[in-house]
Amino acid sequence: MRCIKGKRKRLILEGRSREKEKKDHLWRVANLWGGTRKMVLVLALGDLHVPHRAPDLPAKFKSMLVPGKIQHIICTGNLCIKEVHDYLKTLCPDLHIARGEYDEETRYPETKTLTIGQFKLGLCHGHQVIPWGDLDSLAMLQRQLDVDILVTGHTHQFTAYKHEGGVVINPGSATGAYSSITYDVNPSFVLMDIDGLRVVVYVYELIDGEVKVDKIDFKKTTTTTAH
Amino acid sequence: MDAHQVAMKKKKVPDWLNSSLWISAPPPADDRPQRSVSDLSAAPTEPLTRPPVPVQPPSAARQEPPPEPEVEEPRDGDGGESQESGLPSAEEISRQSQLLAELSRKVVDMRELRKIASQGIPDGAGIRSTVWKLLLGFLPADRGLWSSELAKRRSQYKNFKGELLMNPSEIARRLEECTTCDSELRSDTSGMLSRSDITHGEHPLSLGNTSIWNKFFQDTEIIEQIDRDVKRTHPDMHFFCGDSSFAESNQEALKTMLIIYAKLNPGVRYVQGMNEILALLFYVFRNDPDEENAASAEADAFFCFVELLSGFRDNFCQQLDNSVVGIRSTISRLSQLLKEYDEELWRHLEITTKVNPQFYAFRWITLLLTQEFNFADSLQIWDTLLSDPDGPQETLLRVCCAMLILVRRRLLAGDFTSNLRLLQNYPPTNISHLLYVANKLRVRGSS
């Protein structure tokens, strides 16, 4: 499964060039609104565990996630297979993934940092941080990466935690796959609307078959970090 | 006289146009024929050696001038000198001074202005911008009201920009009244962040019809089209295309104006071709020598564009295509006009060679001839289109007829392919002559 031969390789390469066209088009579409302040939508999700623990994203999530609306995707890891990677690429060409312990692609980085607008974001799957899901330990990782917002996964539970160093967000599992800790998991993901110095975090959760959306607002006062 | 008649014969206009009735005097130095409207109403007068006509000095005039021969004496000293210079002819100079005189009145006489402007607005004094604004009704006739009117409109445009170009995040923020519950990112407190309800079910991935986010993403399609068309507008002109920030800011302005127009007019939205019409308006206003006017060219051009398009809107609305006011009926009126003026040509074009006017006239009419001639010629044509008291649409049809009549010899000799090719790539022609012929068609009726 690792080495792709012959016809399949050619199809994948063709797909890549078509993808590039679509990517350019989508990139233009998603960034057309010049204006003075650009609005940026960032999708954060992860822990899908396709196909081992879940077949696919819930249909109601898939119907909402259409290409052309989102500018960046950050994924906490554990996709696990390439098909999920390709699907996410169709939603948005700018895709960032950190490696989860079950990912088949071994070349994803352990941690990643990126700057979007005025915010620095950090990405890490979280299985490396022990105790798993411990907020203080995650805060230490955040200070180490020196980011405003740290996005991690692994626990399959949505959390948004604020400490002196910044904010930790866990988008949960987008498919509702069971975790190492619990079976009781609601599918969830997060969409961040970064507008200048403000962030509105929209939390999408599938509870009893219905999509529930909440939000969290926060802002930062200065553009430069003190460290 | 001979040179002129020879020139006329070369162009092969119908014989009735060739009569000496129309040619009243030896042509001026640059061989441009007379196009005075007044030639018809008053006795044909010479261009340069005029019988002394009592003229009210403009500075003293406070009321409407008497409606006598409108071809006034040139102002002192202006007309006589530059006869030899190649570029602006004496006639142009006189027109320019007449226009300046008119514009410096307290209350501009619109009828007078139209008569002078319909002969063409000289490029010299940079007055085209102001004259067009007057003709389109953007500026009132009373000069005292200009500053207040301009200020009002410009601030209105600024409001449009602020309201309509807001992205949904800002709108959502304004919708919710409480904005005090923003948590600070790096404050000393720590703890779980609380989730709050969203207002009105608004979230970025909403698929609802009334959702501001959904509407925002739907508008993106139109904006993409506007963006594409603006980038392709006049690629040969530095004003519009190129790497300079000037060109980019002009393109941005065009885009903004078209986006706002599309949002304010959901019935028509944006149709390809509006960019050409707007580009011409914006170019003229942006090159206004007055700095303040040039800086507010965007706002002025927007309102003039709305005004201009209000007469032509029906051409752009697809649902009206087959109705009495739509583009098809306009094209058939053109056909009727041609039949009236030149039946032989009409018969040859439509019946014999089956060149349906829709093949060529569609672009002529909807784009107001901006695509058929070069930029400078389009400006001259628009001078006439905007100033003619019959209204732009009627005048446009007459000009189109004149265009057909001027190439009648080639059309009569051609078949379907060559005629279509000729009409879709109309050859460069003497615009003054074209407008002269169009003007004559007005009074002539049937040949």
Neighbours of B228 (CB within 10 A): 12
Rounded Cα gap, residues A57 and A115, in angstroms: 28
Secondary element (H or E) of residue A112: strand A111-116
**Given the DSSP bridges, would you call strands A159-163 and B191-192 parallel, antiparallel or unpaired?**
antiparallel
Give me the amino acid identity at A49. H
Rounded Cα gap, residues B7 and A165, in angstroms: 85
Secondary element (H or E) of residue B1: none
Tokens of A50: 């396709």
Rounded Cα gap, residues A26 and A20, in angstroms: 10
The residue that leads in pLDDT, B38 or B378, is B378
- Per-residue confidence band for B2, with pLDDT thresholds at 50, 70 and 90: low
Q: What share of chain B is helix, strand, coil (3-state, %, to 5)?
A: 55, 0, 40
pLDDT for the residue B296: 86
Query: Are B47 and B91 spatial neighbours (Cβ–Cβ below 8 Å)?
Result: yes
Q: Determine the average pLDDT of the residues in A95-113.
A: 91
SS3 string, B54-105, reads: CCCCCCCCCCCCCCCCCCCCCCCCHHHHCCCCCCCCHHHHHHHHHHHHHHCC
Query: Are A65 and A91 spatial neighbours (Cβ–Cβ below 8 Å)?
Result: yes
Rounded Cα gap, residues A130 and B250, in angstroms: 57
Using alpha carbons, select from A186, A218, A217 the residue that is nearest to residue A204: A186
CA A173 vs CA A45, A125, A201, B73, B407: distances in Å = 7, 12, 16, 86, 73
- Per-residue confidence band for B64, with pLDDT thresholds at 50, 70 and 90: very low
pLDDT digits (tens, 9 = 90+) for A165-224: 789 999 999 999 998 888 889 999 999 998 888 888 999 999 999 999 998 888 887 654
Write phi, then psi, for B151 (nearest 5 degrees).
Answer: -60, -40
B199 dihedral zone (left: phi>0; alpha: psi -120 to 50; beta): beta
- Per-residue confidence band for B213, with pLDDT thresholds at 50, 70 and 90: confident
With CA atoms as reference, the chain A residue closest to B172 would be A200
- Its pTM stands at 0.66
**Looking at the predicted structure, is the pLDDT value of residue A33 above 60?**
no
* C-alpha distance from B315 to closest chain A C-alpha (Å): 28
> Do residue A29 and residue B196 have CB atoms under 8 angstroms apart?
no
Tokens of A84: 């999920």
Q: Which of residues 9-68 of A touch B (CB under 8 A)?
A: 28-29, 32-35, 37-39, 41, 63-66, 68
CB-nearest to B169 from A39, A148, A161 is A39
Helix (H, G, I), strand (E, B) or coil at B411: helix
Rounded Cα gap, residues A200 and A194, in angstroms: 7
Tell me: ipTM over 0.90: no
pLDDT for the residue A20: 54
Rounded Cα gap, residues B353 and B339, in angstroms: 15
Secondary element (H or E) of residue B192: strand B191-192
- Per-residue confidence band for B9, with pLDDT thresholds at 50, 70 and 90: very low
Peptide bond preceding A51 in cis form (omega within 30 of 0): yes
CB-nearest to A219 from B167, B185, B223 is B185
Rounded Cα gap, residues B170 and A195, in angstroms: 8
pLDDT for the residue A181: 83
Query: Are B397 and B331 spatial neighbours (Cβ–Cβ below 8 Å)?
Result: no
Judge whether B178 is closer than 8 Å to chain A, CB to CB.
no
pLDDT for the residue B438: 85
**Given the DSSP bridges, would you call strands A149-152 and A166-170 parallel, antiparallel or unpaired?**
parallel
Peptide bond preceding A131 in cis form (omega within 30 of 0): yes
Judge whether A204 is closer than 8 Å to chain B, CB to CB.
yes
Rounded Cα gap, residues B168 and B221, in angstroms: 16
- Per-residue confidence band for B67, with pLDDT thresholds at 50, 70 and 90: very low
Tokens of B19: 């009569």
Q: Determine the average pLDDT of the residues in A86-115.
A: 92
Secondary element (H or E) of residue B127: none
pLDDT digits (tens, 9 = 90+) for B258-301: 999 988 888 888 888 889 999 988 988 888 888 888 888 888 89
Using a CB-CB distance cutoff of 8 angstroms, which residues of chain B are in contact with residue A164? 186-188, 190
Q: What is the mean pLDDT of chain B?
A: 75
Element counts in chain A: helices (H) and strands (E): 4, 11
